[in-house]
């Protein structure tokens, strides 16, 4: 059996996803030319469904790149790519030196009795407006993504420790559909 035949997913294949925005705000979605419909009895796809649609298709096609074309009602096409994460290489674990059985048991008991060290979380909030309701919004120092509310406002909470590594202490919100960019310092 060839190496290619043994792989679970052919990563060289790009899955073509097309989302045509209709005049009533619903989305007509196709995957590689075939219709991609919402669950039975579910309402039609809407703009706010974008991240859920992409996540579901990505889950169905693990390890494959998605090319997502959103065709607006005026004919504009917005293209986005969802690239699967590269598998992390793990260093071969060094084999531990042999430990006498009694010493191993006493070390395990000491470790079990030690209280866990509490993690101090410091959250900072940043909000921006002008986004398309429900769109996926990138948060940079890119550590997360958030989604806008029905009013087009995007709000994120991030661990303030990440800001310690950014000399300007700035956060960027980037609308994946609208292209809206908000830059500022969290409160």
Tokens matching residue 130: 């002008």
pLDDT the model gives residue 19: 93
Give dist(CA 94, CA 11) in Å, integer.
Answer: 32
User: Is 114 a member of any domain?
Assistant: no
Give dist(CA 54, CA 62) in Å, integer.
Answer: 12
The parent domain of residue 147 ranges over 123-184
pLDDT the model gives residue 176: 78
Number of domains in the chain: 2
Query: Which helix or strand (DSSP H or E) is residue 145 part of?
Result: strand 144-147
> Pick from 65, 82, 99: which residue ends a domain?
82
User: Is 102 a member of any domain?
Assistant: no
Which residues make beta-bridge pairs with 181? Answer: 174
Q: What's the pTM value of the predicted model, to 2 decimals?
A: 0.44
User: Is 2 a member of any domain?
Assistant: no
User: Is 88 a member of any domain?
Assistant: no
User: Is 99 a member of any domain?
Assistant: no
Quick one: CA dihedral 136, 139, 143, 147, positive or negative? Answer: negative
User: Is 169 a member of any domain?
Assistant: yes
Judgement on whether residues 19 and 75 belong to the same structural domain of the protein: yes
pLDDT the model gives residue 81: 85
pLDDT the model gives residue 96: 55
> Pick from 82, 110, 144: which residue ends a domain?
82
pLDDT the model gives residue 116: 63
Quick one: CA dihedral 163, 145, 175, 60, positive or negative? Answer: positive
> Pick from 27, 51, 82: which residue ends a domain?
82
User: Is 158 a member of any domain?
Assistant: yes
Tens digits of pLDDT across the chain (187 residues): 444 444 454 556 789 999 999 999 899 999 999 999 988 888 888 888 888 898 889 889 888 888 999 999 898 888 888 887 766 665 554 555 555 555 545 555 555 566 666 656 667 777 888 878 888 887 766 566 777 878 888 887 777 777 777 777 778 888 878 888 888 877 7
pLDDT the model gives residue 3: 47
Give dist(CA 130, CA 142) in Å, integer.
Answer: 20
User: Is 150 a member of any domain?
Assistant: yes
- DSSP letter at 161 equals G
User: What b-and-e string marks burial along 23-57, b requiring 16 or more CB atoms within 10 Å of the CB?
Assistant: eeebbebebeeeebebeeeeeebbbbbbbebbeeb
Contacts of residue 79, defined as CB under 8 A and 6 or more positions apart, other chains included, come to 67, 68, 69, 70
- DSSP letter at 61 equals S
Judgement on whether residues 73 and 129 belong to the same structural domain of the protein: no
Judgement on whether residues 76 and 140 belong to the same structural domain of the protein: no
């Amino acid at each position: 059996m060839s190496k290619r035949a043994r792989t679970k997913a052919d990563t060289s294949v790009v899955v073509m996803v097309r989302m045509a925005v209709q005049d009533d705000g619903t989305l007509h979605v196709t995957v590689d030319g075939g219709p991609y419909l919402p669950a039975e009895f579910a309402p039609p796809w809407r703009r706010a469904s974008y991240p859920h649609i992409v996540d579901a298709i990505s889950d169905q096609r693990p390890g494959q790149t998605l090319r997502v074309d959103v065709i607006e009602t005026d004919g504009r096409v917005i293209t986005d790519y969802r690239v699967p994460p590269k598998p992390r290489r793990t260093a071969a674990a060094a084999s531990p030196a042999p430990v006498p059985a009694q010493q191993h048991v006493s070390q395990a008991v000491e470790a079990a009795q030690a209280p866990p060290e509490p993690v101090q979380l410091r959250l900072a909030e940043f909000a921006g407006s002008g986004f398309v309701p429900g769109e996926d919004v990138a948060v940079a120092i890119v550590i997360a993504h958030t989604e806008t509310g029905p009013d087009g406002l995007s709000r994120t909470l991030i661990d303030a420790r990440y800001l310690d590594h950014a000399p300007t202490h700035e956060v960027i919100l980037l609308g994946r559909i609208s292209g809206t960019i908000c830059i500022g310092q969290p409160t």
